[in-house]
Amino acid sequence: MDAFSKIAEHIKHDTHVAILTGAGISAESGIPTFRDKDGIWTKMDPNQLASFDVFLRDPVLVSHWYQHRRKVAEEHKPNAGHLALAELEKFCKSVTVVTQNIDRYHQKAGSKNVIELHGNIEENYCIRCKKFQEIPELKDNDVPKCKYCGDLVRPNVVWFGEMLPQDAIRKASETARNCDVFFSVGTSTVVFPAAQFPLDAKNSGAVLIEINPEETMLTPYCHYSVREKSSVALTQLLEILKKKIEK
């Protein structure tokens, strides 16, 4: 039996499935990852750019960087990996996607139960009065300013040193501790607290499966490691599940 068939054996209609996703699942949509060879941050240190301090020091650089990424996300679309996860909901009554991504592609693909750990790129809020608002297209040295109080407006994402949304952390933690099967898909699992969830799931008795073309920090702890792109692996797994249902 190949790895996909073995993994499919663990998935029944009443199985609680959790999936932690990272930048790798959106790579095949044309969204660069963070730490791969051609990732966003190969020339810039993530610890240098994704922080509130840097935003305050250089709001033009950071705001324009996010504007660029917002456009890239708008111009591309979810791929077969996102669609396969959405379709998984037809086979299992409990599927929860816990994503580190800010592109909203899981929701766009049709996944109903998505926990966003690091926020999203669509929303922006004022750093002073916290009011959410639309921001205009930025040109040259523009920075987005709050229409209520005039202070800086930032993307609704979580930077290093910032707390993750409490509700997201609580739900993700519960999901990890209560699932039967936990997939880690397209993430290097180097950023905490997200990287803790697969380990929590395993410690609570879940089967831990990784889908990633490369080895990661998590690989030694996994029951199954599939060295494959997520679109290929998730589509193949779904095909096997479909055949199982038809039998």
Of these partners, Zn ion, ligand BJW, none, which one is at the site of residue 20 (CB under 5 to 8 Å by kind)? none
DSSP conformation class of 163: P
- Is 118 one of the annotated active-site residues of the chain? yes
Of these partners, Zn ion, ligand BJW, none, which one is at the site of residue 245 (CB under 5 to 8 Å by kind)? none
Of these partners, ligand BJW, Zn ion, none, which one is at the site of residue 213 (CB under 5 to 8 Å by kind)? ligand BJW
Nearest alpha-carbon partner for 122 in 74, 58, 65 = 74
We find the least distance from the C-beta atom of residue 99 to ligand BJW, in angstroms, to be 8
* Interacting residue ranges for ligand BJW, rule: CB under 6 A: 22-24, 27-28, 33-36, 39, 46, 50, 100, 102, 118, 157-164, 186-188, 190-193, 211-214, 216, 229-230
Rounded Cα gap, residues 18 and 191, in angstroms? 18
Please calculate the CA angle 214-17-174 and round it to the nearest 5 degrees: 100
Nearest alpha-carbon partner for 212 in 59, 12, 19, 83 = 19
Using the minimum distance from each CB to ligand BJW, give the nearer residue, 239 or 243: 239
Using the minimum distance from each CB to ligand BJW, give the nearer residue, 36 or 142: 36
Beta strand pairing call for 119-126 and 153-157: antiparallel
Catalytic one of 10, 82, 106, 118: 118
Rounded Cα gap, residues 64 and 138, in angstroms? 7
The residues annotated with a catalytic role in the active site are: 118
